[in-house]
Structure 1
Amino acid sequence: MSSQLDQFLDVILALGVVLAVAHLCGRLVQFVGQPKVVGEMVSGIMLGPSVLGALAPEWSAAIFTTEARSAIFMLSQIGLSSYMFLVGCDIDIALLDRSMARRAAALSFAGIAPSMILGGACGVMFFEALADDSQRSNVWQFAFYLGSALSLTAFPMLARILEEHRLAATSIGVLALFAASIDDAVAWCLLPLIVALAESRSIAHGFLPILGALGFVALCFFVFRPLFAFVGRKVEARGALLQEEFALVIVLLLVVIGLTDRIGVYSVFGGFVLGACMPRSAALLAAIRANMYQYVVVFFLPMFFASTGLGTEMRLLFAGGLLIPFFTILFVAFFGKYAVCAAAMRASGFSWRDASALGGLFNARGLMLLIFANVGVHHALIGKSVFALLVTVAVITTAAAMPIFDWSQRASRSSRLASHCPPVQARTRT
């Protein structure tokens, strides 16, 4: 009993430290114009071997014991899947008119295709320099993985950035969000394929998890969606969500998290698809969000950033001649999103300032790239050095989004996307 109590106190200490540092860093970066989520991402790195482990290894070992690390990892996976469930709940294609839909598709394609090609080329070019003994992928698997990772735009992080700056309901915010949601959809299609290729050398066996994922999507939309629609009608009629109904949502969320992991697809895919299949019942979605959002964002997401940071060793970027690959990949990540997306939007009729602002917003990778990095390590597609590289790229590109937006719009505040597409009342909230 004493041993269990000691372990419990160790875990409580670690969780308290993670939360305190995450929210302190989040508050501090807001003073320099950065969104809070950037500080939370940085806090994970600070608590890991890159900062605390290097400066005070005894403190690090005392705070983040084996049991504490295990608890943080498990909470991070539940929290991340729950957050992606909320993200899925917030995607509503009904807000898109035909003109904005075309522009969102063009912006998404401009952000995906060039980045994937350039990232894949970097994967081939630097495979020998970046590969290590823990890595099972061959050069083409690694190139496919790196290209997919660099093509991402983080819809959840972009949404939080826009919400914090009161831009989510503007035309430029809605366009960026829907283009990013297309990127996310492509990413969730690529992720099962990447995992399948990592788990099996056989192409035939490699597609089995993809077939399982398609079956899971069908289950969500043809079985769970009618069930949620029934619950939604009850909630609309009485104006409140009962505890038993909310418990049903949580149980099904836990079921799909475990099911997608069993299929061989990362668990966040399950949370996202379950959220996306929810009926657009305003009362039901508002009640679910009111019950879940604050706890997921305040408690669970910092656990994911901490879990990622505890496995990030920044010193690896300065060893073994990795600086040239790092700066090359960082440049490709930035150029493939900002420059190409800005050029595409300029070609479709936007001013250079608005095109540049959109390119900057679309450069935020945040959570999605961290997810891909964790998947890559878990399935031995990448080693620790590439993991550290991708975490750093995620932080830098996300931190660059709002400064680019502000710089692009500063000289002419009268130049707005409203001159190109009418304002839209957005309901995207996360």
Structure 2
Amino acid sequence: MKFILWLIFGLLLGPSVLAIKSPEWFNGASQAAGGIFLFLAGWEMRFLNLYPDRKFYLLAFVGSFVVPAVTGWVVFQNFFMAMAMGISALPITIQLLKEKGLYATSLARRSITLASLCDIGAWLALVWLLPAESVGAWVLSHWIVLAFFVGLLLGRIIEWPTQKSFLIHAQTWILAPLFFLGLGWKIDLWRLFDLKSFLTVFILAVATKSVGSYVFSRWAGANHKDSWNLAAILNARGAMEILAANFAYDAGLISGPLFSALVLLGILTAVMAVPLVRK
């Protein structure tokens, strides 16, 4: 959960608190770090054979992604907000499972696969939504999001290193700090913050993801404990929510209050998941 500390540090430096101006080179470095971070996140995604457990994955995906997305569309009438309701955070899913000693279980296999499916659905929608005037401009404006899919394709060819390596250290100690520090540094959280928008987004996102994931997992045959844990894990939006919200806000797809609400949603749901997941 180190990304939360870097984001908070950035918020303290930026217009939200101290209003210290960032160096001119820092914004470009932060954006580049975000693109490489997404590339590595895509590479890290792993899929097992879905076919033997296809009924479970189909129903659980409907509950964890389709139900929140449809509800988001009905409430906000905004396609990006619909997708934002369905996002899960694969990096947090993996970290939570490791911290709780659940990484070598069937729950881990299901959680990682479902978080990957939710993220892919949301990022595919974001690629389609981001505006551009020509093919060249489209590639230039989408390169950060496209990096995710390049990483995803690479993961089918070269296996993600499971042991400590330069890539893992770089992701943790260079890329994530650069991007999330830069993101927090440019946000005027309190100027953008609107209590009604935040409460609407937070309650809707948490309720639909939790209830949808739990009910549909139970319907698919999972027991109470695994369904509870799936709901808690998939509800953690974390870095992926914040990344998507940042791109959507820069592209004019969402308002300032909704952007602020999604950033807080990403932070709070990541923190909430830790005590809710049961061994």
Normalising by structure 1, we get a TM-score of 0.59
Query: Counterpart of 1:117?
Result: 70
Matched length? 278
Query: Counterpart of 1:170?
Result: 105
CA distance in 2, matches of 1:346, 1:382: 34
Instruction: Report 1:165-314 matches (<5 A).
Output: 165-196=100-131, 199=132, 262-263=138-139, 265-278=141-154, 279-282=156-159, 285-286=160-161, 290-314=165-189
From 79, 83, 87, the equivalent of 1:144 is 79
Counterpart contact for 2:33–2:179, Cα < 8 Å? yes
Query: Counterpart of 1:42?
Result: 8
2:22 is equivalent to residue 87 of structure 1: no
- Amino acid across the alignment from 1:39: L
Give the secondary-structure state (helix, strand or coil) at the position aligned to 1:380: coil
Q: Which digits, 9 at most, give the CA deviation of each residue in 1:52-89, with x for residues without a partner?
A: x2xxx4xx24xx3xxx2x43322222222222222232
Name stretches of at least 5 consecutive residues in structure 2 with no aligned partner: none
CA distance in 1, matches of 2:213, 2:162: 36
Query: Counterpart of 1:32?
Result: none
Name stretches of at least 5 consecutive residues in structure 1 with no aligned partner: 1-34, 125-142, 201-207, 210-258, 410-430
Give the secondary-structure state (helix, strand or coil) at the position aligned to 2:165: helix
- The verdict on how the C-alpha distance between 1:323 and 1:91 changes in structure 2, with shifts beyond 3 A counting, is closer
Instruction: Report 1:382-393 matches (<5 A).
Output: 382-393=254-265
Give the secondary-structure state (helix, strand or coil) at the position aligned to 2:275: helix
Q: Which digits, 9 at most, give the CA deviation of each residue in 1:319-373, with x for residues without a partner?
A: xxx3223212110010111111011111122222221111000001112211221
Counterpart contact for 1:89–1:275, Cα < 8 Å? yes
Counterpart contact for 1:75–1:300, Cα < 8 Å? no
- The verdict on how the C-alpha distance between 1:106 and 1:121 changes in structure 2, with shifts beyond 3 A counting, is same
2:215 is equivalent to residue 343 of structure 1: yes
2:25 is equivalent to residue 71 of structure 1: yes
Structure with bigger gyration radius: 1
CA distance in 2, matches of 1:272, 1:328: 29
From 77, 94, 108, the equivalent of 1:159 is 94
Query: Highest relative contact order (Cα 8 Å, sep 6+), 1 or 2?
Result: 2
CA drift of 1:265 comes to 5.0
Kindly report the root-mean-square deviation, in angstroms, between the aligned alpha carbons of the 2 structures: 2.7
Identity rate, percent: 22
CA drift of 1:315 comes to 1.8
Query: Counterpart of 2:239?
Result: 367
- The verdict on how the C-alpha distance between 1:324 and 1:373 changes in structure 2, with shifts beyond 3 A counting, is same
CA drift of 1:288 comes to 11
Query: Counterpart of 1:326?
Result: 198
